[in-house]
Chain A
């Protein structure tokens, strides 16, 4: 078994997406390439200072999962199960015949089942203990999504949730790769999920000053790297990837979408919500991901940025990207289209990065009309940019100073 050797690429053999840009990988990718934003007024946020969000359009859990399964799951787990089903179909693996003990699950989430928690808190306050659902704990605990995915497909190997805020999905994928590299699993189901759009959470993010206040024009609110950006737009979604060792995938004749070839992680150790302005730790995560992949900065043609559309993130990140890659990489932030789905974001963006390499095209950053002069990198705007892509990097930086970076290469 290969141990910690650089350039150990794991094959991505299955993909599933449920995002504000649509349900299903093809629909999402078309929307991301179109650069059409998804942010819209949100009836659930009526009367709030921020009353818009990025929701998965037309997601009906009873239709997708059946009422029997749906009523027992928080929305976050519902999104994840639907993404899992797509990813498994796509992988060609048959859970009825695999050795489940060799199949792991590693899913990232920032907040877990907060919609359930919030609804049940209201029941307790208004009607007492007898009105609280016995499903409150299993629906809201953050570990449960990984448990439910295991039950869905009989994956009885290592099973865990990673929580590194907005980097959770990328941390999960990096951790999943380690389980394959170390020989602990033959297949790992990984990705990220969050369904954080509740009045309480939006109030909290609003009070932090993290959200865009562009209530008069929500479509234009998520505008990474643009001079007029004023915060992120809360989103929801799930991305699931099926990972296998490249050799195993080849032997079984699987279609390989691309490789996760490197992973780097670090902590700012600086402040709860403000990124370290020096970007030193985030840069170390990028450089260690490259080293892990056995690549130099010159081998990389594309960066899918964390690019939240906040004042601080985008400038700090642009400086870091320029410092590592110069101006030789095509940078994009797909959050302009999808909004920021917190713990799902890193996984959604890893999938977008794989698809960019597969199709040799960099999607545009939505709403980028006037590049912030402090952003001295080549950000793709308006139209998708075709061109040969050899390798790409996907950045994810979480509140708490947690940084996770993935290197993606071609199959």
Chain B
């Protein structure tokens, strides 16, 4: 699956599960800019695990990370598994 597809699915998840504003979610936007706090990032690791079937440690998503960066992390885990 290409990186673009993962970004799109992740973006959709940020809107549907977390209520992030759809018009602000884009690859270059960071979680901090989307006002994700530490609890939301742990929840994201949990939800991403279910959605993408990969192991993501709860500290691996960070406030400074962009949505595209998170998608790359997910894809790298998927390639490794």
CB of B39 within 8 A of chain A?
yes
CB of B20 within 8 A of chain A?
yes
Chain A hits for B17, CB < 8 A = 67, 71
Chain B hits for A133, CB < 8 A = 43, 46
Cross-interface CB contact of A138 among B16, B21, B39, B50, cutoff 8 Å: B39
Q: Number of contact residues on A: which range applies?
A: 10 to 19
Q: Is the interface of B mostly helix, strand, loop or mixed?
A: helix
Interface residues of B (CB under 8 A from A): 15-21, 38-40, 42-43, 46, 49-50, 58
Interface residues of A (CB under 8 A from B): 62, 66-72, 130-135, 138
Cross-interface CB contact of B16 among A67, A72, A135, cutoff 8 Å: A67
Q: Are B19 and A130 neighbours in the complex by a CB distance under 8 Å?
A: no
CB distance from A403 to the nearest CB of B (A): 39
A66–B50 Cα distance when bound, in Å, is 23
Q: Are B46 and A67 neighbours in the complex by a CB distance under 8 Å?
A: no
CB distance from A74 to the nearest CB of B (A): 14
A66–B49 Cα distance when bound, in Å, is 25
Q: Are A70 and B49 neighbours in the complex by a CB distance under 8 Å?
A: no
Q: Are A134 and B43 neighbours in the complex by a CB distance under 8 Å?
A: yes
Cross-interface CB contact of A68 among B18, B39, B42, B49, cutoff 8 Å: B18
Q: Are B46 and A66 neighbours in the complex by a CB distance under 8 Å?
A: no
A130/B43 contact (C-beta < 8 A), A67-B16, A67-B19 known: no
A134–B40 Cα distance when bound, in Å, is 8
Chain B hits for A132, CB < 8 A = 46
Q: Are B39 and A67 neighbours in the complex by a CB distance under 8 Å?
A: no
CB distance from B55 to the nearest CB of A (A): 9
Q: Are A69 and B39 neighbours in the complex by a CB distance under 8 Å?
A: no
Chain B hits for A66, CB < 8 A = 19
A38–B49 Cα distance when bound, in Å, is 41
A130/B49 contact (C-beta < 8 A), A135-B39, A135-B43, A138-B39 known: yes
Q: Are A69 and B19 neighbours in the complex by a CB distance under 8 Å?
A: yes
Chain A hits for B20, CB < 8 A = 68
A22–B8 Cα distance when bound, in Å, is 39
CB distance from B26 to the nearest CB of A (A): 17
